[in-house]
Structure 1
Amino acid sequence: MKQIIIIGAGTMGNGIAHSFALHNFQVSLVDTNPDSLNNALQTIDQNLSRKVKKELIQPLQKVQALSNIKLSSSLKESLKEADLVIEAITENLEAKRSLFREIDQFCPSHTILASNTSSISITTLASVTKRPKQVIGMHFMNPVPVMKLVEVIRGYETSDATVSQIMSIARKLDKTPVEVNDFPGFIANRILMPMINEAIYAFYEGVAGKEEIDEVMKLGMAHPMGPLQLADFIGLDVCLAILRVLYDGFGNPKYAPCPLLTKMVTAGKLGRKTNEGFYVYDKA
């Protein structure tokens, strides 16, 4: 695979672009918002500079990586020679379905279509395309340049050949791919989100303060970050969206989002991205 198209220049999209470009893939980062594209390139530049400073990469590697990235606001043009398309837009089913329907029309027949979704059904996304055997989940962890895991999600019709290609390309990025089947939340978020939700319930019910809850999990379970701090890092809106996918998908009340989480998202307290969630953060 040579031509990688990443749609969505947000936190995940720019991190994925960073990883591919650093490993000498030609990357087109596509977003309809020019400001998002420019901010993404600036973020990639800063993150690569940090790696140079820590002597993790050579200065020439940074220069080469940046030269491997092309910014584009034209989706149709970008898709003409795509070998792999990775969707990294907002975690919204209808938005993703609409995008997959569109990219399926403009990509060459050999192109694999991947989603970075953290919970939405790959089978559902594949169903709006004419190439369900070539649709797969490629769930990177945040921050992408640092985290090794890639959940590779096999949809109902995803072919063995597609899975094999994606597992191979993930390893070329120096990632560790783990194959899972297409169920709500896959593995990472099916386990993580109920834990975060339970931590929110514990805070909501007054079992302990937020700092105390986070401290118990950090010291008692050797977690690098407490669950409430992690929720702020992920984004409370994202946590809520994933819990709703789990609740709708399984119909099990154990996945019902805590009322406090719903209230905070409604109030616009989304965590680090808004400088306030369970904790208050200094403005960047």
Structure 2
Amino acid sequence: EAWDQAVAKGRFIADGKVHGAAPAAYRALDIIEAAKDGDLQKGYDAEDIALADLIMGGELRSGIYAFNLVQKRGKRPAGAPDKNLARPVTKVGVVGAGLMASQLALLFLRRLEVPVVLTDIDQERVDKGVGYVHAEIDKLLAKSRVNQDKANRLKALVTGVLDKAEGFSDADFIIEAVFEEIGVKQQVFAEVEAVAPAHAILATNTSSLSVTEMASKLKNPERVVGFHFFNPVAILPLLEIVRGEQTDDASLATAFAVAKKLKKTAVLVKDAPAFVV
């Protein structure tokens, strides 16, 4: 009975993840189910038959294609400009201190190991965002993934302020992760542009809004790029980089260089509704 329950649970999980579209998981469960009688040779024979069928199927071909595509694009993203145009990033600004923004701050902090500053509309939110980052660093320390010295150094690198001028006046890369509404994001970028250095990249984590429209009211729309992560940020590898109509090559090259340091698989996408994913 326990054997049957385990197989049934496996089928339930497979249904929830692949909805019958990928046969390999179901064939594996069939073999496990058949192994209940304990005949070892029958089990080997069933494995051989299943492997022969799966090797000739579309799932394997699709998997190999996807793997090769990711490997190639990870090394040389299609459409990316000359990497030598990228500007150095020595400080990162994050607009917002909610869960997504805090995850972004943690990722930039861990991968780039440069100062990261968060801003939001009130001190309570800012403190909560910084507190989240500190708590996650403590978890890394508890798991021995960083030592005490590095944990202290990382914590010292992340700060939170209310005044964007104070936080972003010397930032090279500023990303917003605020409410998904075009007017809100346009206002945020207008405020950031007024205080950020002329060379600073203005990135948006929007999942579907027009990057071109977002940048349309700025004096320098050429430095705005889409930089869309997927949740949870630390785990999912894909990063959509969106080129607006006026985004220049230097800004785009910097975005790709940052993505590489973040160890993300960056793909260049058109500024169209919903981008790629």
TM-score, scaled relative to structure 1 = 0.63
The yes-or-no answer on 1:170 pairing with 2:259 is: yes
Contact 2:118 2:130 in 1 (8 A): no
Identity %: 31
Tell me how far 1:76 sits from its aligned partner: 2.1
- After the TM superposition, list the runs of 4 or more consecutive aligned residues in structure 1 that deviate by more than 6 angstroms: none
2:127 to 38, 44, 56: 38
Structure number, greater radius of gyration: 2
> What is the aligned partner in structure 1 of residue 211 from structure 2?
122
> What is the aligned partner in structure 1 of residue 108 from structure 2?
20
> What is the aligned partner in structure 2 of residue 10 from structure 1?
98
Contact 2:174 2:201 in 1 (8 A): yes
Q: What is the total number of aligned residue pairs between the two structures?
A: 188
Moved more, 74-83 or 91-100: 74-83
Contact 1:22 1:64 in 2 (8 A): no
Residue pairs, 1:144-183, within 5 angstroms: 144-183=233-272
> What is the aligned partner in structure 1 of residue 185 from structure 2?
96
Name the SS for the 2:169 alignment partner: helix
Contact 1:22 1:62 in 2 (8 A): no
In structure 1, runs of 5+ residues without a counterpart are 189-284
| In 2: Cα distance, 1:102 partner to 1:149 partner | 29
Tell me how far 1:149 sits from its aligned partner: 2.0
Residue pairs, 1:210-221, within 5 angstroms: none
Letter in 2 for 1:160: D
Tell me how far 1:108 sits from its aligned partner: 1.7
CA RMSD of aligned residues (A): 1.4
| In 2: Cα distance, 1:117 partner to 1:65 partner | 27
Letter in 2 for 1:134: R
Residue pairs, 1:167-206, within 5 angstroms: 167-188=256-277
CA deviation digits over 1:126-154, x for unaligned, max 9? Answer: 11111121110111121222322221111
> What is the aligned partner in structure 2 of residue 67 from structure 1?
156
> What is the aligned partner in structure 1 of residue 75 from structure 2?
none
Contact 1:32 1:74 in 2 (8 A): no
The yes-or-no answer on 1:131 pairing with 2:220 is: yes
Residue pairs, 1:202-241, within 5 angstroms: none
Name the SS for the 1:182 alignment partner: coil
Letter in 2 for 1:167: F
TM-score, scaled relative to structure 2 = 0.64
Tell me how far 1:86 sits from its aligned partner: 0.6
Tell me how far 1:110 sits from its aligned partner: 0.9
Tell me how far 1:35 sits from its aligned partner: 1.2
Residue pairs, 1:257-276, within 5 angstroms: none
The yes-or-no answer on 1:54 pairing with 2:152 is: no
Name the SS for the 1:81 alignment partner: coil
| In 2: Cα distance, 1:78 partner to 1:44 partner | 17
Tell me how far 1:21 sits from its aligned partner: 1.4
Letter in 2 for 1:145: A
Residue pairs, 1:74-89, within 5 angstroms: 74-89=163-178
- Structure scoring higher RCO (CA < 8 A, sep ≥ 6) equals 2
Contact 2:130 2:159 in 1 (8 A): no
